[in-house]
A and B are shown apart, each in its own frame.
Chain A
């Protein structure tokens, strides 16, 4: 289409400019919109069909398909449709929905590495099955030329299969050797190659024992472990990338031609930006026009909105509440205060990266042990019998037996089972060692604003007002989108109040709402504007005519499951601490309400992380639960950390685990699951060690036939996987 419209070279530049612009517009206009939403609460086939039907009922949606495994829906729609239009439809059907960035997803959808591994796994499985069939014939007594033929056929299958499917091990081993250190892949590669070489040699000499089947099954089991490991990691990584995309960053830039919507990444210092009520500041800057109130709770933890007028400085992440604002950008992208928090995080994080996982600890003991053992067996037999062929055979048998087949499965099988279970409860494990660290936790630190509370205010003193006052307040509040007004409206309506007849209602951005009632001026808004005297609690003031002003006070509503989570954690013997940047009074009342006796108020971000480092120095393993920017340093400093999906992306990036649903209730359960998982990992190591303890002496004594090797390997791998599945 664009090719047809491409303008011809023309003598009149203006003539060609118009079609050129049209062609450009046509090229820029997509024929279809692709929207992907995350649906954390879907879990069954009924959910799937409800969501799909709700979406397909709309005329502008061409198709919608739910993916239950990834808990998301992908929508093909008319080009003008955006996620903001679609989310209400899903929410009306009764499910939570968040927008995901499609560009971040497309990179994970074609998960090349995963497919590659799966292909290698399939080839290894095919070869292992066929070789096993041939080996069974040999074990049951095939002799002479038949045995030789079977060995040659096995070699013909195994050599190309291993050359293809064991590549990941060879590659990893090679890079490790180049860097002059040992990892698990070195003994694996050595075992596979040595088994192949000795078996080939044996076959050319018409020998009795060939380890083709052992080399193949070893590759197969190890690839299984590798694949499981890759899958858990890639699910976590893709989810983390997509969650980072939860706030799709767009801004309205004011230009001479009017307003245009641009990506935040395209903004430059000095740009004028329009921020609507309810919008988030995309940059640091200074207000040039308009007055409003700013919600800074995500940055500082204060619940009280601040007054903003031309000249007031704003920082990225603050939410504009009432009036439209025009902001001149003074710092964009990486230079904003939001990103400068990253420095604090980097410092705090260096402590955590020192954690070594159980698997790494096992590998450190294991890799040198295996080599030394098989080298000793080789030397011992060489000296004892003087026969290179026997010695090499024994060394290969020892390597195959000790090879960390069950060990390779021990950790990935458990983490896959455990993260699957946690994902069902709405928790997303982002970090590979997060489960192990979560299992060690004994102290839980909560942030207040946005974590224990849902961030929506609730009216506390409705009964202090007369019915007439409430009617006026309702009439004034109805016209405003300020969070306090919305809460006031909801609670007055719930009490059956009908709005009074107030005329000339007008919202004064940054101050409040005013109107005329029975010829008197009535005002609802900030203390200074209405004429009240300052109060430390979140409040809105009402004044009727020349009477005195009264305050409606609000508290932050508790998040779902917050009380249960705190109670269960305390019952399980964890120490629970509350740390917040909010005022002492607000924090104290929250602590009383939840029965938390240790709390810290008016804490700066540095205070929080310092306090956590303090606790850590005293030997406590701290779990930090927080959502704000002021928590990021603390989240990184803690032994393990959780943040809700509603948190700013900086906080989510800093934490190990993300809560997908709105409730905090799964946290105590997550700790229990993590403990169980670590116990299973240890059990698996024990099982694998016992198999080795029994089979290794046999191998060293030269009694280990390929049959025993195959039995020991398969039996230990299957026991380990079954033990992991008990966690589901």
Chain B
């Protein structure tokens, strides 16, 4: 059962990493146009003026 002393912190750290990543996506406006972004990735045009 000693393995738990590693596994529990690891699972918590991974969880926190996921949460932090989600907060990053939220802060960088990645949920503003989900539909458009889904279509845009398939479009063949070269986007030379990407929105920063």
Contact = CB atoms under 8 A, between A and B. Distances in A.
A126 interface: yes
A115 B25 CA distance: 11
Given A53-B45, A122-B22, A122-B23, A130 B36 contact: no
A122 B19 contact: yes
Given A67-B36, A115-B26, A153-B8, A49 B45 contact: yes
A388 B33 CA distance: 53
Contact of B39 (A53, A68, A149, A157): A68
Nearest to B1: A146
B15 A130 contact: yes
Given A126-B15, A129-B15, A146-B1, A45 B40 contact: yes
Contact of A48 (B16, B32, B36, B51): B36
A56 interface: yes
A48 B23 contact: no
Interface in A47-104: 48-49, 53, 56, 63, 65-70
Contacts of A123: 19
Contacts of A119: 23, 26
A118 B26 contact: yes
A725 interface: no
Contacts of B23: 119, 122
B49 to A, nearest CB: 5
A27 interface: no
A133 interface: yes
B40 A48 contact: yes
A126 B33 contact: no
Contacts of B49: 56, 63
Contacts of B51: 63, 65
Contacts of B40: 45, 48
A69 B51 CA distance: 16
A132 B50 CA distance: 41
Nearest to B7: A133
Given A56-B49, A69-B34, A119-B26, A45 B19 contact: no
A28 interface: no
Nearest to B41: A45
Contact of B33 (A69, A122, A133): A69
A627 B49 CA distance: 40
A179 interface: no
B36 A69 contact: yes
B33 A67 contact: yes
A44 B39 contact: yes
A400 B16 CA distance: 27
A272 B33 CA distance: 45
Contacts of B43: 45, 48-49
A70 B40 CA distance: 15
Interface string B2-46: 001000100110011011001100100001111110011011010
- Secondary structure at the B interface, as helix, strand, loop or mixed, is helix
Nearest to B25: A122
A146 B8 CA distance: 12
A277 B1 CA distance: 86
Nearest to A149: B4
Interface residues of A, number: 26
A422 to B, nearest CB: 15
Contacts of A122: 19, 22-23, 26
The winner among A45, A49, A63, A67 for most chain B CB atoms within 10 A is A45
Contacts of A44: 39
A209 to B, nearest CB: 21
Nearest to A70: B33
Contacts of A66: 36
Contacts of A67: 32-33, 36
B32 A69 contact: yes
A122 B32 CA distance: 17
B36 A68 contact: yes
A68 B45 contact: no
Contacts of B19: 122-123, 126
Contacts of A118: 26, 31
A122 B18 CA distance: 10
Contacts of A146: 1, 4
B35 A68 contact: yes
A447 B39 CA distance: 39
Contacts of A115: 26
Contacts of A153: 8
Contacts of B12: 130, 157
A332 B42 CA distance: 51
Interface in A116-141: 118-119, 122-123, 126, 129-130, 133
A123 B26 CA distance: 13
A149 B7 CA distance: 14
A87 B12 CA distance: 53
Nearest to A122: B22
Contact of B11 (A49, A65, A68, A133): A133
A48 B15 contact: no
Interface in A230-246: none
Nearest to B45: A49
Nearest to A65: B51
B26 A48 contact: no
A157 B43 CA distance: 43
B6 to A, nearest CB: 14
A122 B22 CA distance: 8
Contacts of A69: 32-36
B9 to A, nearest CB: 10
A257 to B, nearest CB: 41
A23 B20 CA distance: 46
Nearest to A68: B36
Nearest to B48: A56
Nearest to B27: A115
Contacts of A133: 11
A53 B8 CA distance: 52
Contacts of A126: 15-16, 18-19
Nearest to B12: A130
Interface in A148-179: 149, 153, 157
A130 B11 contact: yes
Nearest to A64: B49
Given A69-B33, A126-B19, 7 more contacts: A48-B39, A66-B36, A68-B33, A69-B35, A115-B26, A122-B22, A146-B4
19 contacts: A44-B39, A45-B43, A48-B36, A48-B40, A49-B45, A63-B51, A67-B33, A69-B33, A69-B35, A70-B33, A115-B26, A118-B31, A119-B26, A122-B19, A122-B23, A126-B18, A130-B11, A149-B4, A153-B8
Name the 6 nearest CB pairs between A and B, nearest first: A68-B36, A45-B39, A67-B33, A69-B35, A126-B19, A68-B35
Interface of B: 1, 4, 8, 11-12, 15-16, 18-19, 22-23, 26, 31-36, 39-40, 42-43, 45, 49, 51
